[in-house]
């Protein structure tokens, strides 16, 4: 697979996995903490904070090491962590609810639960966006076009991740299997980059002499 096509695919699936995790998280934590405004605000707020951190760190790293393997590792990490959430997430949430019942209250319990269970995935997936932009830029003069394409694909993927879990997966297979499906999407998408199936394109023509051409492997 061409490295630019693979980067675009990963950007799309990062949006899908990210929103799938975020929306399923509410159903995961609701039995322990109830469906409250605090729950939604902390899920959304901590997700955005994690994404922002991922954008910053991912952008810095990909400039030094522009490889498809980095994007694959981010998807793999998010998928594996989500499998852990599927297996142990509800147990952890109830344990935190018990610990914080007399100390910190419901809001603190929600904060800890979201911090532990939900923030790792958006952090890892957030690193994919700047990495995908870097890997798809054919020349310095096309950076705006490449960035626009990646953001569009990520947003479309997020739409898929919004509707499919809520309308299809959660009602028919439940929360735990929804997490597993979302996790497997990330893990399977990581395999081409990890198995060396992504091929580098010809070196881009960059006007910035400090820019390193993208490669398939480190």
CATH code for the domain of 97: 1.20.1250
In a domain, 209, yes or no: no
| Counted domains in the chain | 1
In the chain (218 residues long), the average pLDDT of successive 10-residue segments reads 94 97 95 92 96 97 93 98 97 94 87 97 97 85 86 97 95 96 97 91 45 54
In a domain, 156, yes or no: yes
Domain containing residue 70:
3-137+147-194
Contact 131, 197 (CB under 8 A): no
In a domain, 8, yes or no: yes
- pLDDT at position 116: 97
First CA to last CA distance, the chain: 16
- pLDDT at position 216: 60
In a domain, 81, yes or no: yes
- pLDDT at position 214: 57
In a domain, 210, yes or no: no
In a domain, 95, yes or no: yes
In a domain, 205, yes or no: no
In a domain, 118, yes or no: yes
* Nearest Cα residue to 7 out of 206, 182, 215: 215
Q: pTM score, two decimals? A: 0.89
- pLDDT at position 183: 98
The length of the chain, given as a count of residues: 218
Q: Name the DSSP class of 104.
A: T
């Amino acid at each position: 697979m061409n490295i630019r096509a693979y980067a675009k695919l990963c950007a799309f699936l990062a949006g899908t996995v990210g929103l799938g995790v975020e929306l399923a998280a509410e159903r995961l934590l609701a039995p322990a903490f109830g469906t409250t405004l605090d729950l939604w605000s902390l899920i959304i707020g901590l997700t955005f904070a994690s994404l922002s951190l991922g954008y910053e760190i991912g952008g810095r790293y990909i400039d030094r090491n522009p490889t498809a393997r980095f994007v694959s590792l981010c998807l793999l990490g998010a998928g594996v962590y989500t499998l852990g959430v599927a297996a142990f997430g509800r147990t952890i949430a109830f344990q935190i609810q018990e610990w914080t019942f007399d100390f910190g209250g419901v809001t603190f319990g929600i904060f800890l639960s979201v911090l532990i269970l939900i923030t790792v995935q958006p952090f890892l997936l957030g690193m994919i966006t700047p990495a995908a932009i870097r890997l798809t830029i054919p020349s310095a003069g096309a950076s705006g076009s490449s960035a626009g394409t990646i953001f569009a694909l990520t947003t479309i993927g997020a739409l898929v991740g919004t509707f499919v879990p809520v309308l299809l997966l959660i009602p028919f297979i439940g929360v735990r299997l929804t997490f597993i499906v979302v996790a497997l999407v990330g893990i399977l998408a990581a395999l081409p980059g990890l198995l060396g199936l992504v091929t580098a394109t010809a070196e881009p023509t960059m006007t910035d002499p400090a820019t390193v051409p993208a490669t398939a492997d480190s």
